[in-house]
Structure 1
Amino acid sequence: MTKQEQLKMHLYELYAHNPFVNLLQMKIEELGEGTVKLSMPVLADKHTNLYNMAHGGALASLADTAMGMACATTGKKVVTLDMNLNYIRGVECQEAIIATGTLIHNGRSTMVAEAEIVNSSRNLLVKARATFFVTGTFL
């Protein structure tokens, strides 16, 4: 088994047991080096605000997780230093939205990633960008 395959297995296992990821019902759909796709349902009893639309915090959590995982696919452990989100359109309850996290800078002490969240019709819902601090390595 290659080091990249070991890392992938480790990340699947790590995120499968993450309480916050499980609370929001995020699922890994695809995992590659420097990129990740996550899905999350938007459920009325879990992910919505008082207007029955996706809560901005749930969307921010999905984007942050996707970008952090994109960083983690390089074998580096990171924490978020700064994050910017643009909420493009309201998100109604639905089976799943998809977040794609992409690494755009892989530095020694900091990393930068972007995320896009879309619905099943591929309409852009959220665009995000974040800077992460490298705290160590996996494996």
Structure 2
Amino acid sequence: MTMGAPSIEPMTKESEILEQLKSAAPDAEALGLEIPPPVFQFMEGRIESYEPGKSLKASFPVKPEYNNPMHRMQGGMIAAAIDNTMGPLSLLITRGAAVTLSMNLDYVRGIPAGKRLHVTASVVSRSRTNLIMEAVASDDRGKMVARSTAQFQLFRMPTGK
């Protein structure tokens, strides 16, 4: 029998993960902050799972109005989906505010309307003031659509008092 660190099961119930997000910023409402943010809601994002301290998975419908001229999801919308997955993960990890300082994206293939874009964001490194994350966006078959690395600056969450 081997002894090791207890494993933490990933959370897969969206309502529980949203509660975790809201508890990470208890004064958000008093400060006028919306969690999840309006753009996440506009893009009809759905949180799929959260592995505490490690990763967050979300998915987004690929709508015709998100298309580029080649009838594939426009790169800026893919970037927004990735940022909309990394942002909530940063809140869950740090329990504080974070802003994106830089984001690098590599686009691999297009994804047509009618599909879902699946994004998995994970923590690479964390210091007192910075957080480095990476994300992979894939289609319904698991084929990579894009990958990203991003750096976030961390702040203390202001209080509503």
TM range (shorter): 0.7 to 0.9
Match of 2:38 in 1: 19
| Larger-Rg structure | 2
8 Å Cα contact 2:115-2:139 kept in structure 1: no
Q: CA deviation at 1:6?
A: 9.2
Q: CA RMSD in A?
A: 2.3
Query: d(CA) in 2 for partners of 1:114 and 1:11?
Result: 24
Residues 1:8 and 2:15 aligned together = no
Residues 1:117 and 2:129 aligned together? no
| 1:116–1:123 distance in 2 versus 1, CA, 3 Å | same
Q: Quick one: distance in 2 between partners of 1:69 and 1:114?
A: 13
**Whole-Å separation in 2 of the counterparts to 1:19 and 1:72:** 16
Alignment of 1:118-137 (within 5 A): 118-137=138-157
* 1:43 Cα deviation from its structure 2 partner: 0.9
Indicate if the aligned counterparts of 1:110 and 1:131 stay in contact, CA closer than 8 A: yes
Deviations 1:17-52 (A, max 9, x none): x221111111111123231111001011x3112221
Report the TM-score when normalising by structure 2: 0.74
1:39 matched to 2:62? The reply is no
Residues 51 and 25 from structure 1, CA distance in 2 versus in 1: closer, same or farther, beyond 3 angstroms? Answer: same
More displaced, 54-63 or 91-100? 91-100
Residues 1:66 and 2:70 are matched in the alignment: no
Gaps of 5+ in 1: none
Whole-angstrom CA distance in 2 between matches of 1:38 and 1:99:
5
Q: What is the match of residue 6 of structure 2?
A: none
* Aligned-pair identity (%): 23
Aligned residues: 132
62-71 or 108-117, larger mean C-alpha shift: 62-71
Q: How many Å apart are 1:138 and its aligned residue?
A: 8.0
Distance 1:60 1:27, change over 3 A: same
Indicate conservation of the 8 Å contact 2:45/2:58, yes or no.
yes
Please tell me whether residue 56 in structure 1 is matched to residue 68 in structure 2.
no
Q: Is the 8 A contact 1:37 1:101 kept in 2?
A: yes
Specify every segment of 5 or more residues in structure 2 that has no aligned partner in the other structure, as ranges: 1-16, 25-33
Deviation string 1:41-87 (CA, Å, 9 cap, x unpaired) is: 1011x311222110101100111121222221121321000000000
- Cα distance, 1:11–1:88 mapped onto 2, change above 3 Å: farther
From the two aligned structures, give the one with the greater strand fraction: 1
